[in-house]
Amino acid sequence: MSVEHGSTVFDHPAFDDHEQVMFCRDAASGLKAIIAIHDSRLGPALGGCRMWAYDTAADALTDALRLSRGMTYKNALAGLDLGGGKAVIIGDPGSRKTPELMAAFGRHVEALSGRYITAEDVGICTEDIEHAARETAHARGTAATGLGDPSPYTALGVFEGIRAALAHRHGTDRLAGRRVVVQGLGNVGWHLAERLHADGAELVVADIRRDTVKRAQATFGATVVAAGEAHRVEADVFAPCALGAGLSARTIPELGAPIVAGAANNQLATDEDDRRLSEHGILYAPDYAINAGGVISIALATPGGTDEAVVSKVMEIRTTLSSLFARADSEKRPTGEIADRIARERLERTGTKRAA
């Protein structure tokens, strides 16, 4: 399919040898979606479905290509036997989303016979996935298929990641007496703050919602700072748990903590910021390594099962990060680069084994 006149998906700057890109249309419900399967060497491609009012179909394609590639790396580094994929639905979720549209999306997912497994993402909630699941067996993250809300598991992984970073820096993972800045007290940030508080950390919090920060002040005795100031606060750990792209050429020199370890996706504004963090002596827990708890809970949960296997896999985030930090030190390379390399090594090992 032509993306812009004269160019194809194969020429797209975000195309990275994706295995399959499917353009989906259902005129009756108004569905326009793109499903991208980046790499299935480790297993079926798992990745959420995002709904967004993209300006153009080309923007939606860019997102599908980038996000599906990101899922390949995230699933590989988390030790899951799953590949990377992503779906994007074009349209404003507030006005265009209907049960019929989600059911039509489900039929397209089903047509891939399990090569792609869908779940919720920005603009899509559990209820929407339940509508899709009427038409496909390849949807996860609903109460019927697993553990429901992934945020507590994401928060557990971030908590373990913070302890790995403290241990690497200080030789002890004790949180008592450590000051941690949590930026963004949403689903993940609040659960994380609860764990940190329970272990004796001193909390500094920021959120654009006044009611939330007031609640944190009352519940945790947290100090509140303005949203734009959080990264500057002198602390042991800065945990970004709001939106992405917060670490940039402007903010990195201003960071007040020697460790950055939080849940937000796409924390680096540009690839260069990985190197910039390491040059400033900051220990950065790569976002897709530390925030994998949610995808682990979606991948490993079984209907009606307990969360034992999920919790034990989420706890492995700590070991993964500890060895990643050690390797970054010994190879004198930035941590984000090492995370990508570890993920690629696993893909290549498995790919070679399967081909043999």
Which residues are part of the catalytic machinery? 86
**Residue 350 binding ligand NAD, by CB under 6 A:** no
Give the tokens for residue 352: 């070679």
In the complex, what is the shortest distance from the CB of residue 171 to ligand NAD, in angstroms, rounded to a whole number? 29
Stretch of 9-17, 51-59, 236-244, 331-339 contacting ligand NAD, by CB under 6 A:
236-244
**Cα–Cα dist 71/208, whole Å:** 29
**Cα–Cα dist 231/246, whole Å:** 9
Backbone angles phi, psi at 148, to 5 degrees: 75, -140
Cα Dmax for the chain: 60
Q: Which residue has the tokens 């797209």?
A: 12
**Cα–Cα dist 275/213, whole Å:** 33
Contact residues for 59 (Cβ-Cβ < 8 A; gap 6+): none
In the complex, what is the shortest distance from the CB of residue 40 to ligand NAD, in angstroms, rounded to a whole number? 22
In the complex, what is the shortest distance from the CB of residue 76 to ligand NAD, in angstroms, rounded to a whole number? 16
**Residue 205 binding ligand NAD, by CB under 6 A:** no
**Residue 183 binding ligand NAD, by CB under 6 A:** yes
Stretch of 30-38, 41-49, 204-212, 269-277 contacting ligand NAD, by CB under 6 A:
204-212
**Residue 193 binding ligand NAD, by CB under 6 A:** no
**Residue 278 binding ligand NAD, by CB under 6 A:** no
**Residue 106 binding ligand NAD, by CB under 6 A:** no
Stretch of 21-29, 124-132, 203-211, 275-283 contacting ligand NAD, by CB under 6 A:
203-211
Give the tokens for residue 218: 């009352």
Q: Is 85 left (phi over 0), alpha (psi -120 to 50) or beta?
A: beta
**Residue 137 binding ligand NAD, by CB under 6 A:** no
**Residue 185 binding ligand NAD, by CB under 6 A:** yes
**Cα–Cα dist 334/68, whole Å:** 23
**Residue 75 binding ligand NAD, by CB under 6 A:** no
In the complex, what is the shortest distance from the CB of residue 241 to ligand NAD, in angstroms, rounded to a whole number? 5
Q: For the segment 208-227, give every residue that binds ligand NAD (CB under 6 A).
A: 208-209, 212, 227
Stretch of 40-48, 103-111, 205-213, 341-349 contacting ligand NAD, by CB under 6 A:
205-213
**Burial class of residue 109 in the structure, from the number of CB atoms within 10 Å of its CB (0-12 exposed, 13-18 middle, 19+ buried):** buried
Sheet holding 237-240, edge to edge: 223-224, 202-206, 179-183, 237-240, 259-260, 283-284
C-beta closer to ligand NAD: residue 209 or 280: 209
Of 298, 296, 333, 331, the C-alpha closest to 315 is 296
Q: Pick from 151, 251, 322, 335: which binds ligand NAD (CB under 6 A)? A: 151
- Interface residues with ligand NAD (CB under 6 A) are 150-151, 154, 183-189, 206-209, 212, 227, 241-244, 263-265, 291, 294
